[in-house]
Amino acid sequence: MPRGKHRRKSLYNDKRVRVNRNITSPQVRLIDMHGTMLGIRPLLEAQNMARGAGLDLVEISPVANPPVCKVMDFSKFLYEKEKQDRENRKKQKAGVLKEIRLNPRIASHDLQTKIKHIEEFLKEHNKVRVTVVFRGRENQHRNLGEEILNAVRDHLSTVGAPEGRPQMMGNRMSIMLAPAAASKPAAKAAPAAQPAGKAAAAPKPAAQPGTAPGV
């Protein structure tokens, strides 16, 4: 059984979500399949309405007195709920600040691996702080750190946009990369307006003084 269907089935039998015969209150505040509040009705009447429409009776507010129940397609309701939950989880994961630390003497293949990780973070809509950490005598070669950060920035230009230039703080040099979708696209320069009454064609070059036209 597909994972999604299995989860919907488990929710269908979940005691925390009462459906149809699992509803125990003798009376319910009933909402029909069109969203119309019908008021307090006997449970049996509400169940018969749902059954007659080929739908389910779902207890949507169990803490109310009497509980609020609605006639609906419970499978569809669970599908929409799962879909919304997935979107909410994506939004929670997105926008996280990640940090990748590099050594100024990092080997080329190790740097490529780090760049792949950064690219994955950016594609997941996370910001990434890329930091080069200098230790001991490495502080005398901070230009290597800037070269590395610029190389990372240029390599990821299609998926990430830098937020400013590399910044030095203590023994660390960092640059912040934001997802390309989050960065503001550069405004296109508007074409120069043609003066009123002028033709769009390029003007003919003026004749040189003292030279007859056509010569």
In the chain, pLDDT over 70 holds for what percent of residues? 74
pLDDT digits (tens, 9 = 90+) for 155-182: 999 999 999 889 898 899 999 999 986 5
For residue 204, name the pLDDT band (cuts at 50, 70, 90): low
pLDDT digits (tens, 9 = 90+) for 77-135: 888 888 888 887 776 665 678 999 999 999 999 999 999 999 999 998 889 999 999 99
pLDDT digits (tens, 9 = 90+) for 11-50: 445 556 899 999 999 999 999 999 999 999 999 999 999 9
In the chain, pLDDT over 90 holds for what percent of residues? 53
Q: Please tell me the distance from the alpha carbon of residue 212 to that of residue 215, in angstroms, as a whole number.
A: 6
Out of 3.30.110.10, 3.40.190.10, 3.20.20.60, 2.60.40.10, which CATH number does the structure's domain 94-182 have? 3.30.110.10
Q: Which residues of 158-169 are buried (b: 16+ CB within 10 A; e: fewer)?
A: ebbbbeeebeee
**Domain range list for the chain:** 3-86, 94-182
Q: Please, what CATH class does the domain formed by 3-86 belong to?
A: alpha beta
* Ramachandran angles phi, psi of 57, nearest 5°: -100, 115
Count how many residues are written for the chain: 215
If one compares 73 and 93, the residue with the highest pLDDT of the two is 73
Q: What is the mean pLDDT of residues 183-212?
A: 48
Residue 81 gets the label, from left (phi > 0), alpha (psi -120 to 50) or beta, of alpha
pLDDT of amino acid 202: 47
Residue 213 has pLDDT above 50, yes or no: no
pLDDT of amino acid 88: 76
Q: Please tell me the distance from the alpha carbon of residue 205 to that of residue 152, in angstroms, as a whole number.
A: 49
Residue 150 has pLDDT above 80, yes or no: yes
Residue 198 has pLDDT above 60, yes or no: no
